[in-house]
Amino acid sequence: TTPLIIDTDPGVDDAFALALAAASPEVDLIGVTTVFGNVSPELTTRNALRVLALLGREDVPVAAGAARPLVHPQPHVSLAHGPDGLSGFADTLPEPTRGPDARDAVTLLKDLLEAAERPVTIAPIGPLTNIALLLAAHPGLRNRIERLVVMGGGVRGGNITAAAEFNLWSDPEAARRVLVAAEVPVTLVPLDLTRRCAVSTAWLAELAGSSAVGAKLVGLTPDYLAAYRKSLGWDGMALHDAVAVAEAIRPGVLQVRRHPVEVECSFGPGRGGLLVDERLRSADAGGIDIAVDTDVDGLRGFVLDRLRALGAG
Ligand code: BDR
Ligand code: CA
């Protein structure tokens, strides 16, 4: 099994991503670190603890990380995840029987990387602040990281601004540090692909009918669904972060193309945008792997099968 750490800001789709990891025998979820993002850092940490309590995985340490971006303050934002980050339904999850780890996120990441028997896959599915801090503070641990599977960026436009996807926009300087310096292997799973893998309300109804855990997960989605209906006219929602975690679980399930990238860090209208340099295709041009395609129905089925098995045993 591959050791996996999820760096997250739950978040409705983050909750689905945590559940997918917990339901998958290919990976050993050895830690969860939290970051500001969809809601305040206090709430993302509390939500991570509650989701793991729902999943019966209170053995997984949760460490709180960055409360703000590296350099500039984050403009106030309330996206699509409701007042508490889980559509107002965080209270329906079990009360955790423990608090966060005494260590901060970077220290937990360091300790887990040092202790793991083999290089660790990290799935950052929120702003990239913790990962930038880790790489800056402990550059020697790079070779303990098998790969970063990052949910972020939009190749053809964003979701929080015309140019920028939410995770990159939330801390562009951190994203630049992680994606452009590319000191470790990176697979970037952008908005373009995660939107194509969106699931319908019928898919959610199947999950809700499968088990008490499935029903609780689907119970977290009303505000998030409402936001997709309002902004895009969808009868469904994107599972962004769960698509990245699916790739961490099953390397190669997403097809990739390697390109150098840039992250726009100026204060113009493009701030937080991802620039993919498609001019350079030779193997030695460097860059990161960008997920461009997958068997969309197969992926939806895979995630549904895994989540339906939760709590069934
Ligand atoms: C990303 O932003 C967040 O709202 C989601 O959890 C996901 O990580 C999508 O742009
Ligand atoms: Ca997220």
What are the tens digits of pLDDT across the range 196-206?
999 999 999 99
For the chain, the average pLDDT equals 95
Tell me, in angstroms, the distance from the centre of ligand 2 to residue 15's CA. 9
What is the number of the ligand 1 atom nearest to the C-alpha of 125?
8
Residue among 77, 241, 243, 245 to mutate when testing ligand 1 (max atoms within 8 A of CB): 241
- Kindly list the catalytic residues: 240
Question: pLDDT class for 155, splitting at 50, 70, 90?
Answer: very high
pLDDT, residue 78, reads: 66
Ligand nearest to the CA of 169: 1
Q: Mean of the pLDDT values across residues 1-28?
A: 98
Q: Is the CB of 13 under 6 A from ligand 1?
A: yes
Question: pLDDT class for 236, splitting at 50, 70, 90?
Answer: very high
Rounded to two decimals, the pTM is 0.97
Reply yes or no on whether the pLDDT at 79 is more than 80.
no
Query: Is the model more confident about 281 or about 7?
Result: 7
The long-range contacts involving 308-312, CB below 8 angstroms and separated by at least 24 positions, are 308/206, 308/207, 308/210, 308/211, 308/214, 309/23, 310/19, 310/22, 310/23, 310/55, 310/210, 310/211, 310/213, 310/214, 310/217, 311/56, 311/211, 311/212, 311/213, 311/214, 312/210, 312/211
Q: What's the complex ipTM? A: 0.99
What are the tens digits of pLDDT across the range 46-78?
999 999 999 999 999 999 999 999 999 887 776
pLDDT, residue 306, reads: 98
